[in-house]
A and B are shown apart, each in its own frame.
Chain A
Amino acid sequence: MNDPLVRVSKAKKTFEGGLVTALDEVSLEIEAGSFVAITGPSGSGKTTLLNIVGAMDVPDSGEVFIDGELVASGKELDSIRARKIGFVFQMHNLIPVLTARQNVEIPMLPRPLTSAERRTRALQLLDEVKLEKRAESSVLGLSGGERQRVAIARALMNDPELVFCDEPTGNLDTSTGDLIHDLILELNRELGTGFILVTHDQGLASLATRILTMRDGRFEDEQAPA
């Protein structure tokens, strides 16, 4: 059997000098290509877990392995994020003065590629998220749903093995949110890219192959999809 893509072992993270425990010796394994939803009330530790599993932070104690690599220092975090991980944020976090295509190209700017190669890859991904016709539009002129689709294309730019989505539909109306659900599911199935979602949206969570519920820094429950 292959090693899991992500293995978290007894990860603990506290804030405010140890007064607030955000993660309390959490262990978790995630297989490549899986679609995992993490739910739970506010303050339950979802985002802290996402930051640690997404190589944006390290636990105070415990170990995190991503694709077999032990994640321990800041330099390793940078490298792992650049090669293996994509992010989609609730507020899309696009750069407002750039076009959709230029935003999608941003993760690839540090790489030694020609601008033509970057452009081709970005247009291909915008095609995947059905925004090829808006590629040269400023993101300021896009709707909320379109902006989130640009953010998803941007997350896929470096061909990551895992995409972390923090409340990706939290700022969208129901019908636009449904379009994003369908898109994530389609990308997961067609590209084989793993998705880990932090969400309060039960509809989106129900699409996942695993649903993890957190409370007080621990997993409360694990459900198989309905």
Chain B
Amino acid sequence: MLTYVLSQFMVRKGRTLMCLLGVAVSVAMIVSILSISRGMRNSLNSYMKESGASLVVFDRSAADLAFSKVTAEEVDKLRTITGVEEVSRANFTMIMGPRLGDNAPAGAGLGIIPVFGRFYSERMIRKYESKLIAGRLPTKRSELLIGDLAAKKLKVKVGDQFPFFREELLGIPQYEVAGIFETDLSWENLGVVAHAEVIQQKTGPDFALVFVYTAPEDTARVREEVESKMPRLIARRSSEFTDRFNEQLAYIDEFIFLLSIIAGIVGVLGVLNTMMMSVSERTRELGTLRALGWTGRRVLGVIVIEGSFISIAGGLLGIGFGYLGTELLLAFFSRGYLVASYLPQTFLHGFLLALIVGLLGSLYPAMKASALQPAEALRYE
């Protein structure tokens, strides 16, 4: 049976290959998007977890952290909650890289740079202590901590002074590189840590989020208390940040679901077209098989197996393409802002998509083939 099924692919090599590639491209697209989406989500979780904070507190109604606002009064209230050992305020902005004057090396200072605002006296800055690859932690408002990739991009080293912002903030014309850090997150390595008061000059007095430190046994109670005393805010364990941040990330899943459907429809149409043509061309052959004693159900099974073979092969190829394509995308086009996470369930998602495409795309041609009457099929010209 396998020989017969495989022989059909040999007869129609070109068309089989085209159909297989069609399924592969659909699967590759989904695998790539899912891997990047999961990668971004995981990296955000890792970022929050690495803060060492027990809770992350932010604006409940903000659609994205960029729009989250926690006021100074709310921070003060947080500090008064029993069990809160310490808080670290954080703000965030993104700037166009600075022009470093006439003497700047060619290509320096181009592109977008994320800037993380931290108070140098607060606990959050200490997470970078173990990540330093040069220099020390900053202590003054005019000092910066620069990610390894950002330092390379700006072509600066520890001790260099340069006008990081294009305007003078807090009257500081030049910023000094106090240290260079390297973390596992490429987008963090592309960033710069500046004093939160400097960032406030650009974003206003509010903070995007507040890291809250508690004893482990107090975390649950503090969380409840934060949310009951300040209903405008939401408090989440840092390790569950994105898991509990579904309202803001749900649109990514919806987008992927929609893309899966579109990719699936394209794949089904490809398989359907290939199998319909195959059945039409093989009418006499299928009639012969029926005459030789094959039942309609067996013919149906053969056509479904053929369609599924193409799809499964396309799915496996698509998983490979998806992985390679994502790696190429990250290496050449993402500029370090994107990360991918290759989870087994992502590959399974791609494989199941291919399998469903194969079954749905071959079912109608298979039903048509199984309904052929042998005498009629043998008369077919």
Q: Are A98 and B4 in contact (CB under 8 A)?
A: yes
In the complex, which residues 1-54 of chain B have their Cβ closer than 8 Å to any Cβ of chain A? 1, 3-4, 7, 10-11
Q: Which residues of A contact B10 (CB under 8 A)?
A: 97
**Chain A residues within an 8 Å CB radius of B296:** 74, 78
Q: In the docked arrangement, what's the CA distance between A93 and B294, Å?
A: 15
What is the size category of the interface that chain B forms with chain A? 20 to 34
Among B7, B295, B378, which residue has its beta carbon within 8 angstroms of that of A110? B295
Tell me if A191 counts as interface (CB < 8 A to partner B). no
Assuming the contacts A56-B375, A109-B1, asked whether A97 and B288 have C-beta atoms less than 8 A apart, the reply is: no
- Alpha-carbon distance between A48 and B298 when the two chains are bound, in angstroms: 25
Cβ contacts A74-117/B at 8 Å (1 or 0 each): 10001001110111010001011110001000110110000000
Shortest Cβ gap from B4 to chain A (Å):
7
Majority-rule SS of B interface residues: helix
Report A-chain residues with C-beta under 8 Å of the C-beta of B289.
106
> Which residues of B in the span 104-127 have a Cβ within 8 Å of any Cβ on A?
none
Contact of B292 among A57, A74, A154 (CB under 8 A): A154
Tell me whether A206 is interfacial, beta carbon within 8 Å.
Answer: no
A78:B4 contact, CB within 8 angstroms:
no
Output the least CB separation between B221 and chain A (Å): 67
Cα distance A78–B292 in the bound complex, in angstroms: 9
Residue pair A98, B7 in contact (C-beta under 8 Å): yes
Distance to closest chain A CB from B294 (angstroms): 6
Flag whether B133 is at the interface (Cβ < 8 A).
no
Tell me how far the C-beta of B117 lies from the nearest C-beta in chain A, rounded to whole angstroms.
69
Chain A interface size, under 10 / 10 to 19 / 20 to 34 / 35 or more: 20 to 34
- Residues on the A chain within 8 Å of B285, using CB: 93, 95
Q: Is the CB of B3 within 8 A of A98?
A: yes
Task: Report the bound CA distance from A54 to B4 in whole Å.
Answer: 25
- Contacts A93-B284, A109-B1 given; does A81 touch B375 at CB 8 Å: no
Instruction: Confirm or deny: B373 has a beta carbon within 8 angstroms of a beta carbon on chain A.
Output: yes
Assembled-state Cα–Cα distance A85/B1 (Å): 21
Tell me the smallest distance from the CB of A163 to a CB of chain B, in Å: 11
CA separation between A57 and B376, bound complex, in Å? 9
Contact with A along B190-206 (1 / 0, CB 8 A): 00000000000000000
How many Å from the CB of A85 to the closest CB on chain B? 8
The residue in chain A whose Cβ has the minimal distance to the Cβ of B11 is A97
Contact of B293 among A51, A83, A93, A95 (CB under 8 A): A83
Q: State the Cβ distance, A164 to closest chain B Cβ, in Å.
A: 9
Known pairs A57-B375, A93-B285; A81 contacts B3 (CB<8 A)? no
Q: Would you list which residues of chain B between 256 and 296 have a CB under 8 Å from chain A?
A: 284-285, 288-296
Q: Is the CB of B4 within 8 A of A110?
A: no
A148 an interface residue at 8 Å Cβ cutoff?
A: no
Distance in Å: Cβ of A26 to nearest Cβ of chain B = 16
State whether the Cβ of A158 lies closer than 8 Å to any Cβ in chain B.
Answer: yes
Q: Once the chains bind, are B292 and A87 in contact (CB under 8 Å)?
A: yes
Among B4, B7, B288, B373, the residue within 8 A (CB) of A109 is B4
Given A56-B290, A56-B373, 6 extra CB contacts under 8 A: A56-B291, A87-B291, A93-B288, A102-B3, A106-B4, A109-B4
